[in-house]
Structure 1
Amino acid sequence: MFDIGFAELVLIFVVGLLVLGPERLPGAVRTVSLWLGRLRRSFTALKNEIEREVGADEIKQQLHNESILANLKETEDSLKDSFSSVEKEFRSTQSDLQSLEYDISGVVKPGADESPDPDKPSGAEPGEADRKSS
């Protein structure tokens, strides 16, 4: 509170000793220390009352919460950006796969490779025709 060093304290003591004398100095020091204690307590009480009225703790808590919410919002935006880029990549890959599927289905049609065998009756398994002819 008061920035008084040791040298200043000794100077005050010597001046007090010269002005008040050795008989009244201890009582004066006691009185001054009591008044300083009361003054400190008054300032502390006033400070606490002002902080309560202003709601400094609530404001600090609110600022802390707002900073946390801002961090969460940044994280959410970052995750949304990442998700949208992954989704775009997925859509692109899906589109490429569908075009490849269309190209492959145009080149190779299922069942087009197999030509009907005249010796093989329709609906019969390959081993049945050989068994009937033997």
Structure 2
Amino acid sequence: MIDIGLSKMALIGVVALVVIGPEKLPKVARTVGTLLGKAQRYVNDVKSEVNRSMELDELRKMKENVESAARDVEQSVHTSAKDFEKDWSDATSSLNDSSSDSSGSTSSEYDWSSNSSVTPAYSHPRKNWRVKRGATPQWYKSRSGVRTKAQSGAARVARFRPKKPL
């Protein structure tokens, strides 16, 4: 970068005053200032765009890592589920084989087929029971003067504003 100190800035100002003249110097300084501001904004925009692209690349890498971890977890869950189903089927088949082989006279074995517990029928809960029980009849609202339609403050002021005499 260019190292410009206070002494160099003063020298540039004196040369500009001599070359350009005192009448045109404020206009030229204003133009140079706006051009420098535009250049700084352009440099800042380029920097922010580069930073955004770097962050986007980092996010893409992080997304790939998370997706691969999710795939690994899903695969491990599937394999453990298959192992569990295999073990379960082995265990139930051995139970079925042992229960069919035995006469069922021992009290320590449980006969799964004789369990005839009846599950109660599902009854759907009433929907909106609070609303239905708490609803006030329309005739009572109109008699007691309860507002049934909401109105904004501005609309209420306009509605009840006194009429101007003609």
Q: Taking structure 2 as the reference length, what is the TM-score of the superposition? A: 0.41
Work out which structure has the larger RCO, using CA pairs closer than 8 Å and 6 or more positions apart in sequence: 1
Structure number with greater Rg is 1
